């Protein structure tokens, strides 16, 4: 290795080592790890050792790609998955629709009207809140909030969300939110843990060994936390506000039933390109 990087022979050896450790995209990983080490061979050796030992690439790099953005992700924090981009699509569409139809003058690019309230519950790294805000940047100014029960997630989300003008809160679901948001939330998104407890053992080692249990475990049928999100949503939503919860295809019918039981209008959202499913509940104007 040279002082500036591994050099061609070193790069081939690095790729071989990563491939032998089971990294499918070994060339890409070698490039990203080299870039992350900023040319320092000692640092590169540390990063490669961590990756070869089985840490998720995103934890080693310190960031994950999500919606075309680099989201800061720390060790011990859930790595955002591509399928969760469905929540971003839904949230952006709902904000745009609400801004044009709910009779308010939304704060479009700083015009000074009411700012739509967007909450990312169970935020982890804050990837969803970040991507929604970045997508709507220059178009609609948001009153942006994210919350999580886990201190490591909250610290990580603050790195992503606070620079965008958002606030990050810590606590159990709605307990974390400021009371001033009650009845005022326009879009509430949640990718709560939804892996059935018995299925965690079947997850890839990168997830079950390096992502916190609290980020994965959804209880016996996977819906314990999602049901609590849904049952609490109506009290926090503004008239015409919506809650969007990621789920699996198999769990969706039960979650739709749970949404309907709260009095919200319920619909299924599906993106085949992401293999993603979400349930959307919307509050009617009168209650
Ligand atoms: C599947 S991860 C999703 C993280 C992030 N939304 C994403 O998509 O990358 C679930 C997150 O929910 C959080 N969580 C679990 N139970 C919670 C609770 N009762 N209240 C708040 N957050 C909770 C976990 O700490 C974890 O960060």
173 Cα–ligand 1 center, Å = 9
210 Cα–ligand 1 center, Å = 15
Write the residue with the smallest CA distance to atom 13 of ligand 1: 122
Q: What is the pLDDT of residues 214-258, one digit of tens each?
A: 999 999 999 999 999 999 999 999 999 999 999 999 999 999 999
Between helix 7-20 and helix 26-36 the angle, nearest 10°, is 120
Closest-CA residue to 130 (of 185, 179, 91, 172): 91
- pLDDT level of residue 112 (50, 70, 90 thresholds): low
Q: What is the pLDDT of residues 9-32, one digit of tens each?
A: 688 999 999 999 999 999 999 999
Residue 64, ligand 1, Cβ within 6 A: no
Write the residue with the smallest CA distance to atom 1 of ligand 1: 193
Torsion angle of C-alpha atoms 128, 131, 137, 139, degrees rounded to 10:
-70
118 Cα–ligand 1 center, Å = 16
8-state DSSP, 113: S
Q: What is the pLDDT of residues 115-125, one digit of tens each?
A: 999 999 999 99
Instruction: Compute the distance between CA of residue 39 and CA of residue 133 in angstroms, rounded to an integer.
Output: 33
Give me the sign of the Cα torsion angle 119, 203, 26, 38: positive
Query: Is residue 101 predicted with pLDDT exceeding 70?
Result: no
Q: Look up the pTM and report it.
A: 0.93
């Amino acid at each position: 290795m040279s002082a500036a990087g591994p050099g061609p022979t070193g790069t081939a050896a690095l790729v071989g080592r990563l491939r032998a450790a089971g990294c499918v995209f070994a060339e890409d990983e070698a490039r990203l790890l080299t870039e992350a080490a900023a040319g320092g061979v000692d640092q590169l050796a540390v990063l490669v050792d961590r990756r070869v030992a089985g840490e998720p690439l995103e934890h080693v790099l310190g960031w994950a790609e999500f919606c075309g953005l680099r989201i800061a992700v720390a060790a011990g924090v859930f790595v955002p998955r591509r399928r969760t981009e469905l929540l971003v699509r839904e949230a952006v569409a709902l904000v745009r629709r609400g801004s044009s139809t709910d009779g308010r003058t939304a704060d479009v690019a700083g015009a000074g009207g009411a700012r739509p309230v967007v909450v990312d519950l169970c935020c982890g790294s804050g990837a969803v809140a970040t991507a929604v805000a970045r997508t709507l940047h220059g178009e609609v100014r948001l009153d942006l909030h994210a919350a999580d029960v886990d201190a490591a997630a909250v610290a990580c989300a603050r790195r992503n969300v606070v620079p965008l003008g958002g606030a990050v809160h810590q606590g159990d679901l709605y307990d974390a939110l400021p009371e001033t948001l009650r009845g005022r939330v326009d879009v509430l998104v949640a990718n709560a843990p939804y892996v059935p407890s018995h299925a965690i053992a079947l997850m890839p080692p990168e997830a079950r060994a390096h992502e916190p249990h609290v980020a994965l475990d959804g209880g016996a049928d996977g819906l314990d936390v999602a049901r609590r999100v849904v049952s609490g949503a109506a009290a926090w939503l503004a008239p015409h506000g919506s809650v969007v919860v990621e789920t699996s295809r198999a769990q969706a019918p039960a979650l739709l039933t749970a949404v309907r039981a709260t009095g919200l209008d319920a619909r299924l959202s599906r993106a085949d390109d992401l293999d993603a499913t979400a349930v959307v509940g919307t509050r009617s104007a009168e209650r």
